[in-house]
Chains A and B, each alone.
Chain A
Amino acid sequence: MDAESIKLLSASLAIALGALGPAIAIGLIGSKAMEALGRNPEAADKIQPAMILAIAFAEAVAIYALVVALILKFV
């Protein structure tokens, strides 16, 4: 296995495995938010911004993995 093919393989593995955790996290955050909204629809103005914020935090980790994959591929 030469360096070029390992680089290619690791780039794809980086983003594939790196997006696994955040995907599950965002799904959990969304489901808990839906649950909370279902129990108390009046609190929607408090739940929604907090949900979006939490999703942004979780997504940032996926973006870190993407940046690593891009660096492997293009640098």
Chain B
Amino acid sequence: MHAVSIAAEKIFSIFTWFPVTNTLFTCWVVMAILIILAIFGGRNIKEIPSGIQNVMEAVLDVLQGVFESILGSAKQAREFFGIVATIFIFVLFSNWFGLIPGVGSIGFFKEETVSAEEQTPVTETTSEITPEKPTENVTEATESKPETETKGQETGHKVEFTPLFRASSSDLSFTLAIAIWAVLYVQYMGFKHLKFGYLKKFFNFKNPIHAFVGILELISEFAKMVSFSFRLFGNVFAGEVLLVVMTFLVPIIVPVPFYGLEVFVGAVQAGVFAALTLVFLKGATAHH
């Protein structure tokens, strides 16, 4: 079975010192898609919309309505709309891009010798998830760890399949980056609305209980970063593993409901990320 790896696999390097992984590459592709959509939708804006502009206005309208119902105030929804709607749309497209046929299955084989520095990509072929030599892959998955550790061994060849594209939300770096920015944005909005009164939430020395709660709040800000990133990463990565396992077990018809589950989960997780950011924003900007 195709060996699943938690870490993203490197596919090429820019200027030989910047490694580009398949998730980073996919992230760039999704960004390109969204930017091109935005450019074409924003051109020649008409009073009565039609075409792409119409679709985008509908989407933004729905999002504005949802944000309003979560926040309870249209003014706040408009204020936080830029960043939170971007988070939602970017995460949604990243999640769904990982389900497009070809993502995760089109890639190339890397033939590696034991000396871990040399990596010569052998052939760039489009291939299915199950490689041509299934037995070799099974042994390679269990032998790869001790092989790379002992250097004085004979040169053995292991053939590893590296997908060219991979859902970017299945990379902890991606989700952690968005999570950190979301939490930092919440802090920024807190300071912007409450000036330095925002610090009273964390450093409140009226009595020992308030002081303790303040410290807990401070720790909980970091816990939010971890929880955001792991929620999205866990859902998408587990979905990937689930699809691979299901396709390996019964390649026909059975993976279809799991595919539907992944589409649903992708949308829900994007929505939960945005909704939680909004709730934290509301909490951070609330006047005590």
Interface residues, chain A, with chain B CB atoms under 8 Å away: 45, 49, 52-53, 56, 59-60, 63-64, 66-67, 70-71, 74-75
Contact = CB atoms under 8 A, between A and B. Distances in A.
Interface residues of B, number: 20
A66 B272 contact: no
B276 A70 contact: no
A64 B234 contact: yes
Given A45-B69, A52-B275, A53-B272, A70 B237 contact: yes
The 4 residue pairs across chains A and B that have the minimum distance between CB atoms: A63-B234, A56-B272, A60-B231, A67-B234
Contacts of A56: 231, 268, 272, 275-276
A51 to B, nearest CB: 12
B275 A63 contact: no
B234 A53 contact: no
10 contacts: A56-B231, A56-B268, A56-B275, A60-B234, A63-B231, A63-B234, A64-B234, A67-B230, A67-B233, A75-B6
B272 A63 contact: no
Given A52-B275, A70-B6, A74-B5, A63 B230 contact: yes
Nearest to B238: A66
A64 B272 contact: no
B227 interface: yes
A72 to B, nearest CB: 11
Interface string B255-288: 0000000000000100010011001000000000
A70 B272 CA distance: 23
A71 B227 contact: no
B4 A60 contact: no
A63 B235 contact: yes
A49 B69 CA distance: 8
Contacts of B238: 63, 66-67, 70
A74 B6 contact: yes
Contact of B276 (A53, A66, A71, A75): A53
A26 B158 CA distance: 45
A33 to B, nearest CB: 16
A49 B234 contact: no
A31 B104 CA distance: 39
Given A63-B235, A67-B233, A67-B234, A49 B6 contact: no
A38 to B, nearest CB: 21
A23 to B, nearest CB: 15
A14 to B, nearest CB: 13
B70 interface: yes
Given A70-B238, A70-B241, A74-B6, A49 B275 contact: yes
Interface in B30-84: 69-70
